[in-house]
Each structure stands twice: as C-alpha cells, then as structure tokens.
Chains A and B, each alone.
With several copies, the nearest count.
Chain A
Amino acid sequence: MMKDVRVTVEIHDGAIPPLPGVTRDDCGAVVDFQGVVRRDEHGESIAGLHYEAYRPMAERELERIARELLTKFPCREINVAHRLGFVPVGEASISVQIASAHRGEAIKFLEEFMNRMKQDVPIWKRTSQSSAQPS
C-alpha cells in the first residue's frame, strides 16, 4: 500500500515556491492548503511573524507524521513546505498538498496533519524577534 506513495518535506528560508504539483492520473482529489499570516494576531496589528525551528527534527517530524497518517488515510502524494524567518502578512508560512484517489482521505489527512503538526513539529512563531508565543 505504501509503495508508489511520494512524500516530500521542505523547509525554506524565503517564500515557499509553488509545490511540485500532481501529474499522476490515479488521483481524483488534490487538496492544497496554505497557512497565511494574518494582519491581526491576538488583537494586535502586525507586519508579519518570525518563525524558527529545530530544523533537522522539524523535517523528520513532518515526514514521520505524514507517513503515520498515510496508514490511516491512504493518499498517494504528500508535499509539505514550511517557511522560516520573517513571513510578512498575507504570505504563506506553510503549504501542504495532498493527492488521493478520493477526496475523503485527502481532506481527513489535511485536518489531522495540521493538528499533529501544531502539536509536535518543533517550529515556533513570534510576533517579534524577542517575544515567544504559543499558537
């Protein structure tokens, strides 16, 4: 079941480039998610957010979570990218692309992947360089 499944994880210091896209003809559903920095963070107007990571572990956790969820929600292609450093308002801090035969698995995968990502992946955001902030 897990053969023929592609998982890519990328961590970028600048804007997230377009994800590779899905070209295979066995996927009936493609879900793209972008988490975007909002103007208004906890009632405060901001210019952007600073993201930092424990990078080698963040990459492994993203892949580990994806592989684990694939056993529950079989999808055929997962592409994940997270941006670090300063991310201006209106730009994406995370981008996830999921392709599956049917839409149910892809939507459930996205939902649970984001929940798990926000629990376990060692990435932190701050409104400025000096103040840490739980999500």
Chain B
Amino acid sequence: MKVMFFVRVRDFTGCEQAEIELKRPVAADGLWELLEAKFPGIAKFRSSTRLARNFAYARDDQSFSNEDEVALLSPVSGG
C-alpha cells in the first residue's frame, strides 16, 4: 500500500510517501496501528485527519487493501 503525506503530517514523517505491506485488508483502526508502528507519534494527527482511498474520501467503514493508494489529509485550505 502506498501512503501519501501532506503539509503538517509530511513535516512530521519527513517524507511525502511510504510503502506499507498489508497481508490482508484492514479497517481504519488497523491502518493507523500500522502507521503508528512505522512513524511513532503519528496517531496524534488522527483526530484532524481524513483518510482517502484511491483519490476519494474513505467511508468510516472503509476497508483498505495492499493495492490501494491511501492519503492522510489534514484540514484543507484551498481557494
């Protein structure tokens, strides 16, 4: 799974994207556990972050699989 980081989350991880190997699909909780294992402390962004899966906002009950491109989206401020 490819995971994309932007603005403050990218400042925290120090990278724009990361690869995470998923053996089986996970829900959002499982995804955040894997992220926290790779980037300890990243969980502090969870409350302000929306997850996207394959370029669309993920549903609350979304399942994420190894082929997905996931993005951690901080509150947006375009326009």
- Name A residues whose Cβ lies closer than 8 Å to a Cβ of B: 35, 51-54, 56-58, 60-61, 64, 82, 93-94, 114, 117-126, 130, 132-135
The SS class assigned to the A binding surface is mixed
Say whether B71 contacts A122, CB under 8 Å.
yes
Judged by a CB distance under 8 angstroms, whether B7 is at the interface is yes
Tell me the nearest residue of chain A to B9, going by C-beta.
Answer: A132
Contact of A114 among B4, B75, B77, B79 (CB under 8 A): B79
The residues of A that contact B8 with a CB separation of less than 8 Å are: 132
Say whether A125 contacts B78, CB under 8 Å.
yes
Number of chain B residues whose Cβ lies closer than 8 Å to a Cβ of chain A: 17
Say whether A132 contacts B74, CB under 8 Å.
yes
Say whether B79 contacts A122, CB under 8 Å.
no
Contact of B76 among A94, A114, A119, A130 (CB under 8 A): A119
- Name B residues whose Cβ lies closer than 8 Å to a Cβ of A: 4, 6-8, 11, 52, 55-57, 71, 73-79
Contact of A60 among B4, B6, B56 (CB under 8 A): B56
The residues of B that contact A126 with a CB separation of less than 8 Å are: 7
Say whether A53 contacts B11, CB under 8 Å.
no
CA distance A40 to B26 in the complex (A): 45
Say whether B56 contacts A57, CB under 8 Å.
yes
CA distance A130 to B76 in the complex (A): 16
Say whether B4 contacts A53, CB under 8 Å.
no
Say whether B76 contacts A132, CB under 8 Å.
no
Say whether A133 contacts B71, CB under 8 Å.
no
The residues of B that contact A114 with a CB separation of less than 8 Å are: 79
14 contacts across the A-B interface (CB closer than 8 A): A54-B55, A57-B71, A60-B56, A61-B56, A82-B78, A94-B78, A117-B79, A122-B52, A123-B77, A124-B6, A124-B7, A125-B77, A126-B7, A130-B11
